[in-house]
């Protein structure tokens, strides 16, 4: 069992290399999802703090140590930060768990893996090369140079705060950008803890700043600030849409990682035991609070009964309880509003005629204490038109839908506004490749689920987002390209004609 921090910790925000109170001088509280009690006080920033942070980032971008720093040195700083995170994995993981209620086992693994993004993109920092173009004009030397896109506003949700911050921070730093981070109002503590390491690593002031507060004021002020050049957002579809609309006013560069309603396709030739484990990992791990939750199982009717029986048997063994225990497998829901939303989704599924075959409400298990727990829930006989099959629940609620042939399975998989991920369970090689082609989603896992890497681009089709994070190409979202033309001819050409 890992120890929670006792008492109530008061945090400060991090602007221009200094720990500062917010301009309002006030705080909001953040609760431990397992105990349901306040454990930290977070500065309630407003547009004045946002302005200070953005201007600090602008200053660091345009002159001084960071602006003049050789990319190799930027990479070195990033690797130093990586090493400090590795040193402090347990502390950061406990902070995440106390704030968002995810399992300590998962958060230790996740925080332990985060440094890889800094190593990978740190290594890329000095490999951003322009090109000399074999240009088709006489006496002209033409080359490209790639420059940082500018000040980045990085806005993150509550489910994996540090991981999703790192997906933005690492490529942005490698590109030479500066950032203002805005973590979720529910889980700001770990991002602020990370700043201690940013300071220790020796990043110049203003390169990375953190403002804390609510989406509609601090998030809005940040993403509409005229000195912000790019927004990197992870969160819900509704907020993503608002941000995209306001970004259009000043044509800010934008990447959006949004929600999902991902399907797990289980074909008749699948190894059902493996599929059962894969579906459990997709919907009950992290209490279903992941954008890639495999919340719709599409199962061939010939194996429906076998799958469901084995699935329920395994799901029933899930150990719920304190997320600080290494033994726990399903923890609490992160926030009270989310807890209520999940219960509402369960109710509406019942009303629409889905058959609840497991769970179906708040947990009353003793080991769940006073936390916000929802029982692992399974609805059978779901029709893909039902709300439960179309709306993102972001909780441990699975819908089971039958299909009769492959084409129907692909149709059902794609019959949603989202397109973030899919799981494909088959032993047939042809099906593996066909499904990878036919399913419209940014991440296709075959005989596996819920795997991510710093090397693999991550993102969604349709309402699941715009752009990709991770993988080498992610750095291009943080760069602008210039074409530079140098005419070394003696005479100017006819000025009235495009050359």
Cite the active site residues.
257, 291
Query: In terms of Cα–Cα distance, which of 360, 392, 323 is closest to 36?
Result: 323
Query: In terms of Cα–Cα distance, which of 80, 160, 108 is closest to 458?
Result: 160
155 binds ligand NAD (CB under 6 A): yes
- The crossing angle, in degrees rounded to 10, of helices 89-100 and 189-201 is 160
Query: Which of 207, 291, 397, 412: binder of ligand NAD (CB under 6 A)?
Result: 291
Instruction: Give 57 or 270: the residue with its C-beta nearer to ligand NAD.
Output: 57
Query: Which residues have a Cβ under 8 Å from the Cβ of 428 and sit 6 or more positions away?
Result: 267, 269
465 binds ligand NAD (CB under 6 A): yes
Asked whether the CA dihedral 327, 158, 108, 124 is positive or negative, the reply is positive
Distance (Å, whole) CA 439 – CA 369? 41
Alpha-carbon dihedral angle through residues 343, 292, 322, 330, given to the nearest 10 degrees: 70
260-279: which residues touch ligand NAD (CB under 6 A)? Answer: 260
String marking each residue 381-420 x if it binds ligand NAD according to CB under 6 A: -----------x-x-------------------------x
Query: Which of 22, 184, 399, 463: binder of ligand NAD (CB under 6 A)?
Result: 184
String marking each residue 110-149 x if it binds ligand NAD according to CB under 6 A: ----------------------------------------
In the chain, what is the straight-line distance between the N-terminal and C-terminal CA atoms, in Å?
A: 71
Instruction: Give 121 or 394: the residue with its C-beta nearer to ligand NAD.
Output: 394
Q: How far is the CB of 236 from ligand NAD (least distance, A)?
A: 3
**Biggest alpha carbon distance in the chain?**
87
463 binds ligand NAD (CB under 6 A): no
Residue 263 CA, chain-centre distance (Å), reads 19
Q: How far is the CB of 255 from ligand NAD (least distance, A)?
A: 10
Q: Which residue has the tokens 């074409």?
A: 483
Number of residues that bind ligand NAD (CB under 6 A): 31
Helix ranges (DSSP H) in 63-188: 65-68, 71-87, 89-100, 104-113, 115-124, 161-175
Q: Which two tokens stand for residue 18?
A: 């200094």
Q: How far is the CB of 136 from ligand NAD (least distance, A)?
A: 42
Instruction: Give 216 or 383: the residue with its C-beta nearer to ligand NAD.
Output: 216
Query: In terms of Cα–Cα distance, which of 336, 264, 330, 327 is closest to 300?
Result: 264
Query: Which of 44, 108, 168, 182: binder of ligand NAD (CB under 6 A)?
Result: 182
Q: Give the pairing type, strands 151-155 and 13-15.
A: unpaired
Interacting stretch for ligand NAD, rule CB under 6 A, among 76-84, 86-94, 151-159, 383-391?
Answer: 151-159
Interacting stretch for ligand NAD, rule CB under 6 A, among 26-34, 75-83, 177-185, 194-202?
Answer: 177-185
Distances from the Cα of 138 to the Cαs of 25, 71, 131, 318, 498, in angstroms? 63, 33, 18, 71, 14
Give the H/E segment covering residue 37: strand 37-43
Q: What is the DSSP letter of 461?
A: S
Q: Which two tokens stand for residue 494?
A: 């006819």
String marking each residue 299-338 x if it binds ligand NAD according to CB under 6 A: ----------------------------------------
Query: Which of 242, 314, 318, 466: binder of ligand NAD (CB under 6 A)?
Result: 242
Q: Which two tokens stand for residue 66?
A: 């960071």
Query: In terms of Cα–Cα distance, which of 442, 443, 436, 445 is closest to 410?
Result: 436
Q: How far is the CB of 497 from ligand NAD (least distance, A)?
A: 48
Instruction: Give 85 or 286: the residue with its C-beta nearer to ligand NAD.
Output: 286
**211 touches 195 (CB < 8 A):** no
Instruction: Give 239 or 416: the residue with its C-beta nearer to ligand NAD.
Output: 239
Query: In terms of Cα–Cα distance, which of 218, 220, 248, 243 is closest to 233?
Result: 243
Query: Which of 22, 95, 100, 159: binder of ligand NAD (CB under 6 A)?
Result: 159
Q: Give the pairing type, strands 178-182 and 208-210.
A: parallel
Interacting stretch for ligand NAD, rule CB under 6 A, among 56-64, 132-140, 157-165, 325-333?
Answer: 157-165
As beta bridge partners, residue 264 has 297, 423
Instruction: Give 125 or 189: the residue with its C-beta nearer to ligand NAD.
Output: 189
Q: Which two tokens stand for residue 87?
A: 């040193």
171 binds ligand NAD (CB under 6 A): no
Query: Which of 115, 215, 282, 371: binder of ligand NAD (CB under 6 A)?
Result: 215
Q: Which two tokens stand for residue 436?
A: 């990878």
Query: In terms of Cα–Cα distance, which of 157, 460, 415, 114 is closest to 286?
Result: 157
Interacting stretch for ligand NAD, rule CB under 6 A, among 56-64, 208-216, 351-359, 486-494?
Answer: 208-216
250 binds ligand NAD (CB under 6 A): no
Query: Which of 165, 178, 212, 239: binder of ligand NAD (CB under 6 A)?
Result: 239
Instruction: Give 242 or 356: the residue with its C-beta nearer to ligand NAD.
Output: 242
Instruction: Give 185 or 380: the residue with its C-beta nearer to ligand NAD.
Output: 185
Q: How far is the CB of 499 from ligand NAD (least distance, A)?
A: 45
**What are the residues binding ligand NAD (CB under 6 A)?**
155-159, 164, 182, 184-185, 214-216, 219-220, 223, 234-236, 239, 242-243, 257-260, 291, 392, 394, 420, 460, 465
């Amino acid at each position: 069992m890992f120890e929670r921090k006792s008492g109530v910790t008061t945090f400060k925000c991090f602007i221009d290399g200094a720990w500062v109170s917010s301009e309002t001088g006030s705080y909001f509280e953040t609760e431990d999802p397992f105990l349901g009690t306040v454990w930290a006080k977070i500065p309630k920033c407003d547009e004045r703090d946002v302005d200070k942070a953005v201007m600090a980032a602008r200053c660091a971008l345009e002159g001084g140590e960071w602006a003049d720093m050789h990319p190799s040195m930027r990479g070195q700083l990033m690797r130093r930060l990586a090493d400090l995170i590795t040193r402090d994995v347990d502390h950061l993981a406990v902070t995440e768990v106390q704030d968002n209620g995810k399992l300590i086992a998962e958060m230790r693994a996740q925080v332990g893996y985060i440094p890889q993004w800094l190593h990978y993109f740190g290594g890329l920092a000095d490999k951003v090369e322009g090109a000399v173009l074999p240009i088709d004009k006489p006496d002209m030397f033409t080359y490209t140079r790639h420059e940082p896109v500018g000040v980045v506003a990085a806005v993150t949700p509550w489910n994996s705060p540090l991981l999703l911050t790192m997906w933005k921070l690492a490529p942005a730093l490698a590109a030479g950008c500066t950032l203002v981070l805005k973590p979720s109002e529910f889980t700001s503590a770990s991002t602020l803890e990370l700043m201690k390491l940013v300071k220790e690593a020796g990043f110049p002031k203003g390169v990375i700043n953190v403002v804390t507060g609510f989406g509609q004021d601090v998030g809005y002020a940040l993403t509409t600030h005229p000195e912000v050049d790019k927004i990197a957002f992870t969160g819900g579809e509704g907020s993503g849409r608002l941000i995209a609309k306001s970004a259009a006013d000043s044509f800010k560069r934008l990447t959006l990682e949004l929600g999902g309603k991902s399907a797990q396709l289980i074909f008749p030739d699948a190894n059902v035991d493996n599929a059962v484990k894969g579906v459990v990992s997709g919907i009950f791990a992290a209490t279903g609070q992941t954008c890639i939750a495999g919340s719709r199982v599409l199962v061939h009717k010939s194996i429906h009964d076998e799958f469901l029986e084995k699935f329920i048997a395994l799901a029933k063994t899930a150990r719920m309880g304190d997320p600080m225990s290494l033994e726990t497998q399903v923890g609490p829901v992160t926030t009270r509003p989310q807890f209520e939303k999940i219960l509402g989704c369960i109710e509406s599924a019942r009303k629409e005629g889905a058959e609840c075959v497991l769970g179906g409400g708040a947990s009353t298990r003793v080991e769940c204490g006073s936390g916000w727990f929802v029982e692992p829930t399974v609805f059978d006989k779901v029709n893909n038109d039902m709300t439960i099959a179309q709306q993102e629940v972001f909780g441990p609620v699975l819908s089971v839908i039958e299909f009769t042939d492959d084409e129907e399975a692909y149709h059902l998989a794609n019959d949603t506004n989202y397109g973030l991920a899919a799981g494909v369970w088959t032993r047939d090689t042809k099906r593996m490749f066909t499904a990878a082609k036919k399913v419209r989603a940014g991440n296709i896992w075959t005989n596996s689920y819920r795997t991510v890497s710093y090397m693999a681009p991550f993102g969604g089709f349709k309402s699941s987002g715009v752009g990709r994070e991770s993988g080498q190409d992610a750095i291009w979202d943080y760069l602008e390209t210039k074409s530079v033309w140098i005419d070394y001819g003696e005479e100017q050409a006819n000025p009235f004609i495009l050359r």
